[in-house]
């Protein structure tokens, strides 16, 4: 198979798909058995190659997505930084979470054998690229980086919103991997809905990752879980990301909060997974007016695709026609130079008492530059709204530096609710802008994601593509190097941990 | 709600179920926010109470399951040891995997906020008890222990195979928890298929665990994943656990291997999840005859329930009627004192060349004291059989102390296959007898389990019931104690890890 055959942006044929999946399955054993340092070198080679080609990549993405150049250079920098982060994580080697229990004939109540456990790659991973981050959540994005880091071959289903950018990126990835001596089957790109669905049903695919809409994500999740052999499907679907400001905070920083909210919900034309779609505030402040005054200053921004623009327009019509909803500022639609619509920002308002009857419409994500201010008149109303909120990636809370009793009550309610409904709680900031660090969590209960225990951003994203494997009583020469007694790879390992697990401890077997 | 209302072995009514689920949901916040040490004390109280009542528990289980007294005392000891193991794990506190990244304005390419991540409980867990371990995988078994340890309330669906044992255990658990000051909603037992299915569909249940058959497990998995809000379903379904011995190993230890295999596949009347159902060996040895000679010495053992006995009998008829299958020893069926059938062991043989055409029958788990010897004549035949093997909990391999070239080839093939198909590879031993330690892995690809990344035995079992939550830029007084700067609970935490994640490092955000 040549590079050009498998890195294409046009519909992948059945035969091509079969060859691609076969190559991925074939490559899985060697790539999975490569050492963490070998994979680190390969990821670094990909990062270097992306950096070297940044001008060409950004100009292709600019043409196809209409996103501004500065944003695209920043996103590409994040993309190569992510690859380097996983390279560093592999060099540290803690991701395999190696645990070794030596044999212990005196172990109570029953003697225990030598047991050695580590995480190993799950096998070939299918990644569905997203539309809204043509680099960071696309061909060489976080899903691809973490799956490759785990030791899994990646079959990447390109997003039709930026085919040339995808093709260019895929060629760079393949060429860099080839230069690092990595088998061709370790990375391939396919295109077309049919090819994506067929790949998802194929037994050679052992896990999948996706970022996109609730409808597409649920459709694919259902396919993954109804296979004869169900596989994990890590989907990031839709998130309303409620924000909340106390009366005291609004008194202290009225303009700062209003401006921060507008900047955040209109960033990237409101097409961020973490866009705050809702602002929950006590009634009787001038916050809504302040925000409404700022919104028209945001220039119309080109949406990612005509399809997204069409959906967004329909969605706005639905929202405006919803009983109780007041349109405070209506953004105008322009046509961008290339014919894809640009949208100004739209601000809506609804009273908390009118929300429950319209929850299914109002609490759904709107992909575009709009947000709704929800004003409540009592803690009981706040409680009712919180109970209705669906799972989200984030919740944001603006508090006072000198909180009073009433603020504390509202904040306690909100935090208790957030603990069950989101993956990240942001204080006195905004949820857009997801820092790529060890302590990051980008996930949340359904429909924010299909797997609440995982993240798609940060070092822990690698965990999605690993599974445990234990060796019992193995002769040293039959162990993989990670588990050999002499620790030839010098990896961090937990050997005979203290406490109940310690040698001669009290744990048992039956 | 009183103890007697919710710890019953008869069918749970709709109203009772609603109250039970409501109580569990209500209890989730406080139990989830309790400190690891508080939960450790509660688990220890349950373990102490089970130990104190062991005579009554074992005699109830003996009456209901027909399992021998010695085995039941051992299993109960393992059950309380498991609870204590999780108590120790909570005392150590590493299970929350706390990571703290301090804010860093100089972080490249973009300043990073203060981020603090920890694992938190998922919420109320529904546990389906198993038939084959009336203590260790039942009311107070590993699923219950790990979910409680995680901070999740447990709704336990009793197995109908041992209702009195279940009732007695549930009362002991509730009374011990009550004595430890734990809310009544943290543990409840329900009974009946309808109640179990209704609970699984209820939005208040956030995860489920199950050990049982492929058909029941898949039925429940499909319900969990097709909910409007799908939840994780940790099912342990069916596993054939292939064992393998090289020609050299069979020459060195013919009798030891034959006897070990018989002991393992007939242990507990062959009703263990890890029963080796298949022995793969090169043709031209007398191994099958040796095993066949030992099998009749195993006395018929009472099966767990009449239903299991009926299914087992039908399964044996199917196997015996399968083309290419030779019945080497046919176990007889007796009626035990209480009318539940007892079964002698049955040994089958098939040649590897006849297996592919009958794979769907022969490679399915048989729940009862039977196993099949598969003899192959070439490495190519071995490779074909390995390719057909479904996911299993374990694979077992017997090797020579002085392996020759031919053995090495076969073993390499086998280990490469095992790395993709099982959770534990056992060398020169047998898979039954699952040691409860840190390095244990009791899981595997479908149909062994529905979630290949998890284990239901050992310390890591707690991971099934935890999910990450991150706090960004939080005022210290609004953080949970686990994440407060002063670390008031004294938990192990990773703060500003070195490498790419370190302060002033090169990671970024976009």
Tell me the average pLDDT across A39-60: 98
A309 close contact with B: CB closer than 8 A? no
| Active-site option among A64, A248, A273, A482 | A273
CA gap A193, A215 in Å, rounded = 14
Q: How many CB pairs under 8 A join A and B?
A: 294
Q: Residue B203: count other Cβ atoms within 10 Å of its Cβ.
A: 11
The mean pLDDT value of chain A amounts to: 93
Q: Which of B232, B399, B478 has its CB closest to that of A415?
A: B478
For residues A468 and B423, the answer to whether their CB atoms sit within 8 Å is yes
Tell me the average pLDDT across A175-204: 97
Distance from CA of B52 to the nearest CA of A (A): 17
A501 close contact with B: CB closer than 8 A? yes
- Tell me whether the omega of the peptide bond preceding residue B387 falls within 30 degrees of 0, making it cis: no
B360 close contact with A: CB closer than 8 A? no
The DSSP result for B213-255, as a single string, is -HHHHHHHHHHHHTSSS---EEEE-----EEEE-HHHHHHSHH
Which residues on chain B are in Cβ contact (under 8 Å) with A107? 435
- Look at residue B509 in the predicted model and tell me its pLDDT: 33
For an interface test with A, which of B223, B470, B497, B504 has the most A Cβ atoms less than 10 Å from its Cβ?
B470
Q: Which of B222, B437, B474 has its CB closest to that of A115?
A: B437
Q: Which strands, in side-by-side order, build the sheet including A333-335?
A: A301-302, A341-343, A333-335
A400 close contact with B: CB closer than 8 A? no
CA gap B403, B387 in Å, rounded = 24
- Look at residue A469 in the predicted model and tell me its pLDDT: 98
- Look at residue B409 in the predicted model and tell me its pLDDT: 87
Which A residues, 187 through 226, put their C-beta within 8 Å of a C-beta on chain B? Answer: 206, 221-222, 225-226
Q: Is the pLDDT of residue A508 over 50?
A: no
Distance from CA of B427 to the nearest CA of A (A): 5
Residues 6+ apart with CB under 8 A from A505: A107, A108, A499
Tell me the average pLDDT across A185-201: 97
Per-position pLDDT tens, chain B of length 510: 333 444 445 799 999 999 999 999 999 999 999 999 999 999 999 999 999 999 999 999 999 999 999 999 999 999 999 999 999 999 999 999 999 999 999 887 778 999 999 999 999 999 999 999 999 999 999 999 999 999 999 999 999 999 999 999 999 999 999 999 999 999 999 999 999 999 999 999 999 999 999 999 999 999 999 999 999 999 999 999 999 999 999 999 999 999 999 999 999 999 999 999 999 999 999 999 999 999 999 999 999 999 999 999 999 999 999 999 999 999 999 987 788 999 999 999 999 999 999 999 999 999 999 999 999 999 999 999 999 999 999 999 999 988 888 888 889 999 999 999 999 999 999 999 888 888 999 999 999 999 999 999 999 999 999 999 999 999 999 999 999 999 999 999 999 876 544 433 333 333
Which residues on chain A are in Cβ contact (under 8 Å) with B437? 101, 112, 115, 501, 507
Contact assignment for B229 to A399 by CB distance below 8 Å? no
E-strand ranges in A122-260 read 125-128, 154-157, 187-190, 207-211, 233-236, 242-245
**Residue A372 belongs to what H/E stretch?**
strand A370-376
Contact assignment for B391 to A113 by CB distance below 8 Å? no
Q: Which of A113, A419, A428 has its CB closest to that of B473?
A: A428
Query: Could you give the angle at which helices B69-92 and B36-52 cross, rounded to 10 degrees?
Result: 160
Tell me the average pLDDT across A104-133: 92
B70 close contact with A: CB closer than 8 A? no
Determine the residue of chain B that is closest to A86 in CA distance: B500
Distance from CA of B85 to the nearest CA of A (A): 6
B30 close contact with A: CB closer than 8 A? no
A314 close contact with B: CB closer than 8 A? no
Contact assignment for B507 to A81 by CB distance below 8 Å? yes
Q: Is the pLDDT of residue A502 over 60?
A: no
B106 close contact with A: CB closer than 8 A? no
Contact assignment for B438 to A225 by CB distance below 8 Å? no
- Look at residue A3 in the predicted model and tell me its pLDDT: 38
Catalytic site residues of B?
Answer: 236, 273
Determine the residue of chain B that is closest to A75 in CA distance: B510
CA gap A193, A10 in Å, rounded = 11
Q: Which of A415, A429, A455 has its CB closest to that of B473?
A: A429
A247 close contact with B: CB closer than 8 A? no
Domain boundaries defined on chain B: 3-237+454-466, 242-427
Distance from CA of A424 to the nearest CA of B (A): 5
Q: Which CATH number fits domain A242-427: 3.40.640.10, 3.40.309.10, 3.40.390.10, 3.40.50.720?
A: 3.40.309.10
Return the closest-CA partner of residue B96 out of B151, B153, B145, B55. Answer: B151
Q: What is the torsional sign of CA B398, B402, B405, B406?
A: negative
What fold characterizes domain B3-237+454-466? Answer: Aldehyde Dehydrogenase; Chain A, domain 1 (3.40.605)
Which residues on chain B are in Cβ contact (under 8 Å) with A467? 423, 443, 452-453
Q: Which of A416, A439, A455 has its CB closest to that of B100?
A: A439
Q: Which CATH number fits domain A3-237+452-466: 3.40.109.10, 3.40.50.980, 3.30.1360.120, 3.40.605.10?
A: 3.40.605.10
Q: What is the torsional sign of CA A213, A217, A218, A220?
A: positive
Please state the φ and ψ torsions of residue B353, each to the nearest 5 degrees.
-70, -20
CA gap A461, A449 in Å, rounded = 13
Alpha carbons within 13 angstroms on the beta-carbon side of residue A364 total 12
B103 close contact with A: CB closer than 8 A? no
For residues A85 and A459, the answer to whether their CB atoms sit within 8 Å is yes
Distance from CA of A350 to the nearest CA of B (A): 26
B122 close contact with A: CB closer than 8 A? yes
Out of A427-431, A467-471, B4-8, B93-97, which region has the weakest mean confidence (pLDDT)?
Answer: B4-8
Contact assignment for A453 to B122 by CB distance below 8 Å? yes
CA gap B382, B335 in Å, rounded = 40
Which residues on chain A are in Cβ contact (under 8 Å) with B455? 468
- Look at residue B263 in the predicted model and tell me its pLDDT: 97
Which residues on chain A are in Cβ contact (under 8 Å) with B424? 469-472
- Look at residue A498 in the predicted model and tell me its pLDDT: 60
Contact assignment for A88 to B445 by CB distance below 8 Å? no
A413 close contact with B: CB closer than 8 A? no
Which residue blocks in B114-253 are alpha helix, DSSP H? 142-150, 163-179, 193-201, 214-225, 247-252
Distance from CA of A212 to the nearest CA of B (A): 17
Alpha carbons within 13 angstroms on the beta-carbon side of residue B128 total 28
Contact assignment for B508 to A436 by CB distance below 8 Å? yes
Q: Is the pLDDT of residue A477 over 60?
A: yes
Contact assignment for B78 to A230 by CB distance below 8 Å? no
- Look at residue B9 in the predicted model and tell me its pLDDT: 56
* DSSP state letter for A106: T
Which residues on chain B are in Cβ contact (under 8 Å) with A115? 435, 437, 439-440
């Amino acid at each position: 198979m040549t590079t050009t055959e498998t890195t294409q942006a046009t519909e992948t044929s059945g035969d091509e798909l079969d060859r691609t999946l076969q190559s991925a399955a074939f490559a899985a054993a060697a790539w999975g058995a490569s050492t963490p340092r070998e994979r680190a070198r390969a990821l670094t080679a990909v990062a270097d190659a992306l950096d070297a080609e940044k001008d060409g990549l950004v100009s292709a993405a600019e043409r196809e997505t209409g996103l501004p150049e500065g944003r695209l250079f920043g996103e590409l920098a994040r993309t190569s930084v992510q690859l380097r982060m996983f390279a560093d994580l592999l060099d540290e080697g803690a991701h395999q979470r190696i645990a070794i229990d030596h044999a212990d004939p005196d172990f109570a109540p029953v003697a225990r054998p030598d047991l050695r456990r580590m995480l190993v790659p799950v096998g070939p991973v299918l990644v569905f690229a997203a539309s809204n981050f043509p680099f960071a959540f696309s061909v060489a994005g976080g899903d691809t980086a973490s799956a490759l880091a785990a030791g899994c071959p990646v079959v990447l289903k390109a997003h039709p919103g930026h085919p040339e950018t995808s093709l260019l990126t895929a060629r760079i990835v393949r060429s860099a991997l080839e230069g690092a001596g990595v088998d061709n089957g370790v990375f391939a790109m396919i295109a077309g809905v049919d090819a994506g669905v067929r790949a998802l049903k194929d037994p050679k695919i052992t896990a999948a990752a996706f970022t996109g809409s609730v409808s597409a994500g649920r459709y694919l999740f259902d396919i993954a879980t109804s296979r004869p052999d169900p596989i994990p499907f890590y989907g990031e679907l839709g998130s309303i990301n409620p924000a909340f400001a106390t009366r005291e905070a609004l008194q202290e920083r009225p303009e700062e909060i209003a401006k921060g909210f507008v900047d955040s919900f209109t960033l990237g034309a409101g097409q961020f997974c973490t866009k705050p779609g809702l602002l929950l505030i006590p009634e009787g402040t001038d916050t809504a007016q302040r925000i409404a005054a700022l919104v028209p200053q945001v220039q119309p921004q080109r949406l990612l695709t005509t399809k997204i623009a069409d959906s967004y327009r329909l969605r706005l019509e639905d929202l405006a026609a919803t009983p109780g909803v007041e349109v405070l500022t209506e953004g105008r639609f322009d046509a961008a130079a290339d014919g894809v619509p640009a949208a100004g920002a739209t601000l809506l308002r609804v009273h908390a008492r009118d929300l429950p009857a319209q929850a299914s419409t109002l609490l759904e994500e709107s992909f575009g530059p709009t947000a709704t201010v929800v004003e409540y008149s009592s803690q009981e109303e706040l409680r009712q709204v919180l109970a209705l909120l669906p799972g989200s990636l984030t919740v944001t809370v603006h508090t006072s530096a000198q909180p009073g009793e009433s603020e504390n009550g509202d904040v306690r309610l909100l935090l208790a609710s957030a603990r069950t409904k989101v993956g990240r709680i942001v204080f006195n900031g905004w949820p857009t802008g997801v820092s790529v660090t060890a302590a990051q969590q980008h996930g949340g209960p359904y429909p924010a994601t299909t797997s609440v225990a995982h993240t798609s951003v940060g070092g822990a994203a690698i965990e999605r593509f690993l599974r445990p494997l234990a060796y019992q009583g193995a002769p040293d020469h039959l162990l993989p190097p990670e588990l050999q007694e002499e620790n030839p790879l010098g990896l961090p390992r937990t050997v005979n941990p203290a406490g109940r697990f310690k040698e001669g401890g009290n744990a048992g077997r039956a």
